[in-house]
Amino acid sequence: MLKEITIGQYIPGDSFIHKLDPRTKILISIFFIICLFVMNKYVGYIFVTAFLGAAIIFSKIHIRFLYKGLKPVFLLIIITAALNIFMIQGKPENLLYAWGYLKIYKEGIDTALFMTLRLIFLILGTSLLTLTTSPIELTDGIERLLNPFKKIGVPAHELAMMMTIALRFIPTLMDETDKIMKAQQARGADFESGNIIQKAKSLIPLLVPLFISSFRRADELAMAMEARCYRGGEGRTRMKQLKYGGRDFVAYGIIALLLVLSFYVRFGIK
């Protein structure tokens, strides 16, 4: 299960999506999230599906790899859908099923479907950002986008560096956790049997070695940066300068069209 988590991983390539400026991909991801939450009708998700499908095709990322990233959150998606179905109250005439205190309304099913679609599209869309953007490009892109906020005291470079390091170390920590679990299972530890509470308790012995390993890696990273005379963003130069190209403006045009369609579906269609 741990090896199926794809957050923070990067797959090198030369596709249309890989070649986009990192600022373009970050902003498109933000606009895509806005589109997801603006949509309130099923017809709107046809446009979202078309956009995301085209992005996956042009990124040349295999769909099975994206599916692997969805598998660890299937339980969360199911729980979210179930809570919406049973907790949302609707109009009396829209009551579909009742059993004691449990009642299912049409509004609850609609909300559950919308939340499920939003979560799936959200995970797939944001996964494409990290899968097609290297950590260095992601850092540069975030820093350049935050640069205008330096005038009000926002540490753009430090924030970009922290976010990128956090993303970069997610796969590393997952691998470390998997190694610790296998080592403890070889010594007789049982992480599978029992109820949910017992399984949660069985994971406690993982925390101490995992924290020790995390602190050690953080200390090694700090020493490596110190040895290379890292002193923050002031006066730093870059081997690759960010520069917008024609493909970036095409991408901005497509996401702008999706935004317009999203607001039209939300406010224009009755």
Greater pLDDT, 2 or 150: 150
| Cβ-contact 31, 255 below 8 angstroms | yes
- Sorting pLDDT into bands at 50, 70 and 90, what band is 269? low
pLDDT category of residue 220 using cuts at 50, 70 and 90? confident
Q: What is the reported pLDDT for 233? A: 64
Contacts 24+ apart (CB under 8 A), 151-156: 156/233
CA distance 242 to 160: 15
φ, ψ (nearest 5 deg) of residue 78: -65, -45
Domain ranges of the chain: 2-168+240-267
* Chain centre to alpha carbon of residue 131: 10
Q: What is the pLDDT of residues 160-212, one digit of tens each?
A: 878 778 777 777 777 788 888 888 778 777 767 767 677 667 777 778 888 88
Identify the residue with better confidence: 1 or 166. Answer: 166
pLDDT in tens, 72-111: 778 888 888 888 888 777 777 777 777 777 778 888 888 8
Whether residue 130 contacts residue 66, with contact meaning beta carbons closer than 8 Å, is answered with no
Reading phi first (left if > 0) and then psi (alpha if -120 to 50, else beta), residue 189 is in: beta
Average pLDDT, the chain: 81
User: What is the pTM assigned to this prediction?
Assistant: 0.76
**266 Cβ contact list (under 8 Å, min separation 6):** 38, 39, 40, 41, 44
Query: What is residue 89's predicted lDDT score, i.e. its pLDDT?
Result: 79
Cα dist. 179→91, 97, 175, 254 in Å? 52, 47, 6, 43
Specify the pLDDT at position 254. Answer: 93
pLDDT given at position 24: 93
- Pull the structure tokens for residue 36: 């997801």
Band (pLDDT 50/70/90 cuts) for residue 235 is low
**Following DSSP, what letter does each residue of the chain receive, concatenated?**
-GGG--TT------STTTTS-HHHHHHHHHHHHHHHHH--STTHHHHHHHHHHHHHHHHT--HHHHHHHHGGGHHHHHHHHHHHHHH----GGGEEEEETTEEEEHHHHHHHHHHHHHHHHHHHHHHHHHHSS-HHHHHHHHHHHHGGGGGGT--HHHHHHHHHHHHHHHHHHHHHHHHHHHHHHHTT--SSSS-HHHHHHHTHHHHHHHHHHHHHHHHHHHHHHHHTT---STT---SS-----HHHHHHHHHHHHHHHHHHHHHHT--
How far apart are alpha carbons 11 and 62 in whole angstroms?
11
Q: What per-residue confidence (pLDDT) applies to 128?
A: 87
CA dist 39 to 5, 29, 81, 123, Å? 28, 16, 18, 17
pLDDT digits (tens, 9 = 90+) for 12-71: 888 899 889 989 999 999 999 999 888 888 888 888 999 999 999 998 888 877 877 777
Q: How far apart are CA 220 and CA 214, in angstroms?
A: 10
pLDDT over 60 at 1, yes or no: no
